[in-house]
Every structure is written in structure tokens, then in C-alpha cells.
Amino acid sequence: MSKVVSLRHYQPSDIDAIWEAVEESKRELARWLAWCHDEYSCEDVRAWVEGRPAAWDNNEEWGFVVEDENERLLGVCGIHRIAMKHRVGELGYWVRTSATGQGTATQAARQICEWAFREQSLHRIEIFVDVENLPSQRVATRIGGVCEGTLRERLFVQDQPHDCKLFAVLRDTHVESD
């Protein structure tokens, strides 16, 4: 059964909880996310969290903490690479290992897409997913994403090129939350 998840803006007090979630999940996340490597530190988390307000203000990224009903940090999600002229952005998300397989990423992705379509007037949200990352592909499909093709060597993770699938969620065809 899925947990109830909510999204909220980052706060400086989230740094330790994000670091804890990264540490718990580093082995799994490092397969898919270029930023997650052995040298990644709590100071990197701090710098990243401290940069979120400016990124938001400049329409570079709209990021959120994902938490459960007990306010436990489960992961993060955000829309980045935003092109307001074209009403498009790219969705990214990750969930700590202990919260995977419970619908957490799907709920968070749905919520942020609904918010971006409604509040930010986006028309299209793209999701780039490693061809081997089947759980993330399922999330993209469950929120109404359509696979538009495979992009060869589009992602670099741990200095290695990876093919990825491009999913697109459109304003008029996304799957809304219950």
C-alpha cells in the first residue's frame, strides 16, 4: 500500500535528513544519477540546498522535499532545465531505498506535474530515464508519460555513457492524483 506523501520547499534544516537519505541509498542512486558518487558529501548537500532559493527565483529549478505523513524525508523531486518560452521542463526525482516500491516516487511525480501544469503553466514535462532503470520507467508511465524514443548515450553516469528513454507528460494527458 502506498504511503501518503507531500511536497514542500527545501529548508536549511533538511540538509542532514537529505544527507542521511543519500547515504542510505548511495549504492542504488549511483547507478542512475551522475551527482551521486563516492566523493559526494554532506557539504555538497548543504551547497545544493542553499542554492535552491536562487534557482527557484531564476526559474532554473522548482525543487521539493518529498516526505511522508510523519514528516520523514523520503526523497526529493524537481522540475529543472525549464524553458518558459516553450512551457517545458524536465522532471527529476529520487527516493531513499527504504521508501522504494511503495508508490512514493509515483505520488511525488504526479503531484509536482499537477503543480507545474496548474501553477507554472507548463505544457510538457520531459523525463530522461536510463534504459535499464525499469522502476523509474514505470513511474513515468504511471503518471501519463509516453515514451518518445531512445536517445543513444544521452546520459553520463560515473563517466560512462548511457542510453536513455525520453518520456513526455503533457498537460492534457497526465494522470491526476486520486
* Cα distances (angstroms) measured from residue 85 to each of 13, 22, 124, 132, 167: 34, 34, 12, 32, 20
Q: What pLDDT, in 10s, does the model give residues 74-128?
A: 999 999 999 999 999 999 999 999 999 999 999 999 999 999 999 999 999 999 9
Is there a contact between 124 and 116 (Cβ–Cβ < 8 Å)?
A: no
User: How far apart (Å, rounded) are the C-alpha atoms in residues 107 and 2?
Assistant: 8
The domains located in the chain, with CATH, are 5-170 (3.40.630.30)
Percent of the chain at pLDDT exceeding 90: 81
pLDDT at 86: 98
